[in-house]
Amino acid sequence: MKTIPMITLCMIVKNEGAFLEKCLSSVQDFAEEIIIVDTGSTDNTIDIAKKFHSKIFHYPWDQHFANARNEGLAKATGEWILWLDADECLDIQNPEFYKEILKNKQANLLFLPITNFIGEHLDALNHDSYTHHQPRLFRNHQGIQFINRIHETLDGEPEKLTTDIIDMPILHYGYIDEITKAKNKSIRNKKILKLEAKKEMHSPWVEYHLASEHYRLKEYKLALEYVNQSIFNFLLIGKKPPSVHYKLKYDILIQTNSMNQALPGIEKALLLYPDYVDLHFYKGLILLHQSDYQNAKTCFEKCLELGEHHPDYLILKGVGSFRAMHYKNICSEKLKATDDGERS
C-alpha cells in the first residue's frame, strides 16, 4: 500500500517581508519541509521564515535564478518538491486531498494552474488576471533541475520526463503594478535578459521576455520589435513559435490601435493555434473595429464555445465568458441597428 509522500517547498527569496508570511501560511499544511535560499535579505524575511521552521541557506547572488534554485533542490529531502515565489500562494482548502492524489500519480513532473493578477493596486476588489499552467511539482532525486539565468524552468532527461496536470491552484500577485515598481523588477529583469541576449546561441525566449518587460511598461514599440524578433528566431531554428508570442503581438497591435494590418496575420496565427480562445477574441476585436459586425459576432460566439479551460495556453480571464458575451451583445446591437435603419 502506497504511503502519503513527503513534500518539500523550495524557494529563493530576497527582501520578501511583505509577502512571505502569506505564502508560507498557504503551504504549511501541505509541505512538511520548507527550504529557503536567501540571496541577501536586509529586511525581516529571515525572521518570518524562522516562524515556519524553515531550513534557511544563504546564497551569494550571481544574477542567475536557476543556480540559486538548484542550491535549494540539493537540500530537499522530500519525495516531491513544490516550488513557489514569495509573491505566490497555494489556493487550496484540503491539503490531505491533494496529497492523496500525489500518492497515486505516475508522472514525475506536474503542471499546476497559475492565476497571475494584473492591475494597478494590490487591494483592488476586482483584479483582471491571466491563467496558465506551469510545472511546479516534481519528484525529487530524478535529475530534474532548473535551467536559464532568468525565467527559469525545469528540465531533465527527455526520455525520463513524464508529465501530468493537477488542479491545485497557485495565485500570483507579482505582476500588479505597485509591486513591480516597488521591487524595480523590470530594471533587474531587463539587465539579466540583456546579458543573455549577448550570447550567440541564446534561446529565442530571451527576446520574448524582453518584449513582455517593455509591454508591462507600456513601451509598445520596443515590445513589438522584440516579439517579432523572437518569432523570427524560432522560425530560424525550425520551431513553431509558441502561442504566447502571437497573443502578445496582437495584444500590442490592439493596444496601439494598429489593427489595419493585423487581420491577415492573426488568421495565420489561428491556423497554428485554432483552439486558442484569446486569438479568436482578438480577431473579434479587430473585426469589430472594422465594423464587420457579423464576422466579429461569430468570433465572440467561438470564444464562448471554446471557454477558458485550456492548460496549453495563457488565457485572459473573461475571453471565453463575460468579455466575449459583452462584445457579442455589442455586435448584435450594431446588426439590429443596421437592420432597423435599412427597413426605415
Q: Where are the beta strands (DSSP E) in 14-152?
A: 33-38, 55-58, 80-83, 88-90, 109-118, 128-139, 145-147
Report DSSP state, residue 160.
Answer: G
319: nearest Cα among 274, 268, 285 = 285
196-61-215 Cα angle (round to 5): 45
Q: Which domains does the chain have, with CATH numbers?
A: 7-178 (3.90.550.10), 182-343 (1.25.40.10)
Pairing of strands 33-38, 7-13: parallel
The pLDDT, as a whole number, for residue 185 is 81
82: nearest Cα among 147, 123, 24 = 24
As to burial, measured by CB atoms within 10 angstroms (0-12 exposed, 13-18 middle, 19+ buried), residue 184 is exposed
Q: Which residues of the chain have pLDDT under 50?
A: none
Residue pointed to by grid coordinates 519541509: 33
The Cα-based distances of 3 to 29, 97, 99, 103 in angstroms read 17, 13, 10, 7
Chain segment 195-209, per-residue pLDDT in tens: 899 988 899 999 999
173-175-180 Cα angle (round to 5): 105
- Which grid coordinates are listed for 156? 531533465
